[in-house]
């Protein structure tokens, strides 16, 4: 719900309740006040009539407003107040009257004197009050709405600008500044805090990035030295066989450490979201290219490759990550395959399935995606391929799953 909507709704509810309450109070106050006035007037009427009869002896009669008749009852000291219905010939219905009556002795005769006047009809009063309060209510609401709208536009405008700018925020940009200015303390504080926060995010991100860069430099440079020394050593013409073996094994392990650090740093970089540049990538094309890369290995193991690829599959993501994902998945399918095995690659819309034959897993398939997981502990590979795949999927919010069915290992990615 939007702010404007919310405040309007609150105004409506609160003022609605207030007006309803005011209407009720209004009704009682008016009817109380009116009845008081009426009683006072009728008392005066009776006094005036009494005085007139005493003076002139004539008995006026204005039914139903004034009624005087001779009675033979004991005179009363105090007025009697009653409400009564009297039939009105013009309106052809009963109309409520207030009556004040007294039995009084005038010129030695007992008279019943009653003064009456119409009461306000309750439903009419109610109607009038309802209409007036209703009208005032609508008028007020309209005013509130317009004031609110105006204020909303004016006061909240810097807020919305800030919001728009925040949406554009990206941690890999060198600096982030909020341009909106407001005279309101709260918004100024908000902007200040946000700027502080984004500055921190950017600097944290930069230092993480620097760390991975420095770490790779500090590790890879010594490795480069070792590797070049070993390669120089290999050129020796009088190397004995066992020496050659020693050198070669040191060389191979150096390469392995180097690959391992590269992979671990890649994992860190993916986790840090250091691959911000996204573009539309043709996954089908990428798969074709990477299959070609592995064609020698496929041939070597005499693997049977079947493809069912939708050439129109375009995914918006980072190219390097997409490439890593495809290489790892196809590479795994080749590497963990058996001779004369099969690889099936299926790509339709945003759904990729790669299945391959291979030895059955001895452990839970969930472990597959863990770092350093190996089915065969003596294997040369560090077991990071699927961990990378998982991280890439996590970063891109893609779904990934593994099943073993029909004697095939199947990895499914939903882009």
Q: Interface with other proteins by CB under 8 A: which residues?
A: 213, 216-229, 231-232, 234-235, 241, 244-245, 247-248, 251-252, 254-255, 258-259, 262, 265-266, 269, 274-275, 293-294, 296-297, 299-300, 320, 327-328, 331-332, 334-335, 380-381, 385
Do the strands 304-309 and 342-348 form a parallel or antiparallel pair, or are they unpaired? parallel
Beta carbons within 8 Å of 249's beta carbon, 6+ residues apart: none
Least distance to other proteins, CB of residue 273, Å: 13
From the CB of 7, what's the least distance to other proteins, in Å?
A: 47
Q: From residue 275, how far is each of 23, 30, 246 by CA, in Å? A: 65, 75, 40
When the beta carbons of 158 and 385 are compared against other proteins, the nearer one is 385
- Beta bridge pairs of residue 346: 308, 353
State which residue, 104 or 324, has the beta carbon closest to other proteins: 324
Nearer to other proteins, 44 or 217 (CB): 217
How near is the Cβ of 266 to other proteins at its closest, in Å?
8
**Residue 381 CB, nearest approach to other proteins (Å):** 8
Cβ distance to other proteins smaller for residue 109 or 292 = 292
Q: Helices in 235-282 by DSSP H: which ranges?
A: 241-271
Query: Residue 384 to residues 20, 144, 257, 371: CA-CA distances in angstroms?
Result: 70, 63, 13, 5
* Cis before 264? omega within 30: no
Contacts of 211 (CB under 8 A, 6+ apart): none
Do residues 84 and 97 lie in contact, with contact meaning Cβ atoms separated by under 8 Å? Answer: yes
Give me the least distance between CB of 180 and other proteins, in Å please.
31
* Spatial distance between the Cα atoms of 168 and 162, rounded to a whole number of angstroms: 10
* Burial track 185-205 (b if 16+ CB lie within 10 A, e otherwise): eebeebbeebeeebeeebeeb
CA distance 205 to 311: 37
| Nearer to other proteins (CB atom), residue 128 or residue 230 | 230
Q: How far is the CB of 356 from other proteins (least distance, A)?
A: 13
Distance in Å, CB of 391 to other proteins, minimum = 16
The smaller minimum CB distance to other proteins, of residues 85 and 293, is found at 293
Contact status, residue 38 vs residue 100, Cβ threshold 8 Å? no
DSSP label at 369? G
> What minimum distance in Å lies between the beta carbon of 4 and other proteins?
44
Q: How far apart are the first and last CA of the chain?
A: 31
Quote the least distance from Cβ 295 to other proteins, whole Å: 9
Give the C-alpha separation, 386 to 261, whole Å. Answer: 16
Kindly tell me which of 13 and 244 has the beta carbon lying closer to other proteins.
Answer: 244
Neighbours of 173 (CB within 10 A): 12
The nearer residue to other proteins, 328 or 356, going by C-beta atoms, is 328
Closer residue to other proteins, CB minimum distance, 265 or 284: 265
């Amino acid at each position: 719900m939007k702010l404007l909507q919310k405040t309007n709704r609150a105004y409506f509810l609160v003022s609605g309740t207030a007006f309803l309450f005011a209407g009720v109070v209004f009704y009682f106050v008016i009817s109380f006040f009116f009845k008081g006035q009426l009683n006072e007037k009728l008392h005066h009427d009776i006094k005036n009539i009494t005085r007139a009869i005493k003076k002139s002896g004539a008995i006026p009669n204005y039914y139903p407003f004034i009624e005087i008749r001779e009675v033979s009852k004991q005179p009363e000291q105090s007025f009697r107040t009653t409400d009564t219905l009297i039939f009105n010939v013009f309106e052809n219905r009963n109309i409520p009257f207030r009556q004040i009556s007294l039995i009084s002795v005038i010129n030695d005769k007992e008279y019943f004197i009653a003064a009456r006047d119409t009461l306000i009809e309750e439903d009419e009063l109610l109607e009038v009050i309802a209409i007036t309060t209703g009208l005032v209510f609508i008028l007020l609401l309209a005013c509130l709405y317009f004031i609110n709208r105006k204020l909303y536009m004016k006061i909240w405008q810097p807020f919305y600008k800030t919001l728009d700018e925040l949406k554009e925020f990206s941690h890999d940009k060198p600096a982030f500044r909020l341009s909106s200015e407001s005279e309101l303390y709260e918004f100024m504080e908000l902007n200040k805090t946000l700027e502080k926060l984004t500055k921190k995010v950017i600097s944290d991100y930069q230092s993480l990035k620097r760390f991975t860069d420095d770490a790779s430099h500090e590790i890879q440079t010594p490795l480069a030295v070792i590797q070049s020394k070993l390669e120089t050593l290999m050129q020796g013409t009088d190397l004995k066989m066992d020496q050659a073996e020693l050198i070669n094994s040191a060389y191979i392990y150096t390469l392995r450490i180097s690959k391992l650090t590269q992979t671990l740093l890649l994992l860190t970089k993916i986790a840090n979201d250091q691959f911000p540049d996204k573009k539309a990538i043709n996954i089908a094309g990428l798969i074709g290219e990477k299959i070609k890369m592995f064609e020698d290995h496929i041939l070597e193991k005499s693997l049977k490759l079947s493809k069912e690829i939708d050439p129109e599959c375009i995914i918006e993501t980072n190219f390097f990550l997409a490439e890593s994902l495809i290489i790892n998945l196809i590479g795994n399918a080749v590497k963990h395959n058996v001779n004369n095995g099969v690889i099936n690659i299926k790509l339709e819309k945003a759904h990729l399935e790669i299945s391959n034959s291979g030895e059955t897993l001895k452990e839970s398939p969930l472990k597959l995606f863990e770092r350093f997981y190996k089915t065969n502990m003596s294997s040369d590979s560090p077991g990071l391929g699927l961990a990378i795949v998982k991280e890439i999927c996590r970063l891109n919010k893609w779904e990934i799953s593994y099943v073993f069915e029909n004697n095939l290992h199947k990895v499914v990615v939903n882009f």
